[in-house]
Amino acid sequence: MDLENNNKKITESQREDKSDWFFYFLVILIAFYIIIKTVHWPIEKSIDVLLLQQSKPIENLQTAHDTIFIADFAVDTIHFPEGEYFYHENFGYSEFKNDFFLKLQTQMETLKSGKYNFSIRSDDGFKLTIDNTVICAHPNGRPMEETLCSTTLNKGLHHFEIYYYQGFGYLGLEARYEFDSSQNPMNKSTLPNHSLNMQLIGRESETVKFHPMPIAKLYVNQ
């Protein structure tokens, strides 16, 4: 009888141990979830953005500068959603809404040589250059629309730059890329139909890495 009671006590103790273990494990999971949600992990911001606020209306991309205020900051992606005010998830909403230029620069390291497709959605105009060669542009105002273009890049570092302007009304700028493994001839009919599935400029992939621009090269020809 005593042996049977001892066995029951051992079984109950084992159950209590398992119950305690599960409780502690659940507490650890909850604590880990809270840490993930509340801690602001460092973000690699490899894209430099120079904002030039103008004193006069901007008619197109060729409008002469009449700058009254300059802001310089870094972001992790070229993703400024369509809206009334200049916004990015790295800094939230800003007071900028009309008549400013942006100059966005990064070092784009291509890990494979070949054809690269680009998608630029903008409201208003923009010009995309890589290694000082214009890849595509829309110099005038427009609602949020997409321009698709391609170029061949050798393996290595490339100077990636977007020059953009916001006139009045809504604004927005998004830039995406992909490595084209099909290697079809470069024409619009071969570009992706669902370009929003492409990687945002700033997000690395198995074919591209991004690095901050050297400080000495950021302010040339501003």
Q: Which of 100-109, 175-184, 187-196 has the lowest mean pLDDT?
A: 187-196
DSSP 214: P
**What are the pLDDT digits (tens) for 141-166?**
999 999 999 999 999 999 999 999 99
Both tokens of 218, joined, read: 């950021």
Helix (H, G, I), strand (E, B) or coil at 94: coil
**What are the pLDDT digits (tens) for 37-64?**
454 455 789 999 999 999 999 999 999 9
Task: In whole angstroms, give the CA distance from residue 123 to residue 142.
Answer: 6
Closest CA to 46 of 93, 90, 87, 92: 90
Confirm if 200 and 78 have CB atoms less than 8 A apart. yes
**What are the pLDDT digits (tens) for 61-112?**
999 999 999 999 999 999 999 999 999 999 999 999 999 999 999 999 999 9
Helix (H, G, I), strand (E, B) or coil at 162: strand
Please state the pTM of the whole predicted model. 0.77
Both tokens of 121, joined, read: 């959605």
Give residue 134's pLDDT band: very low, low, confident or very high (50, 70, 90).
very high
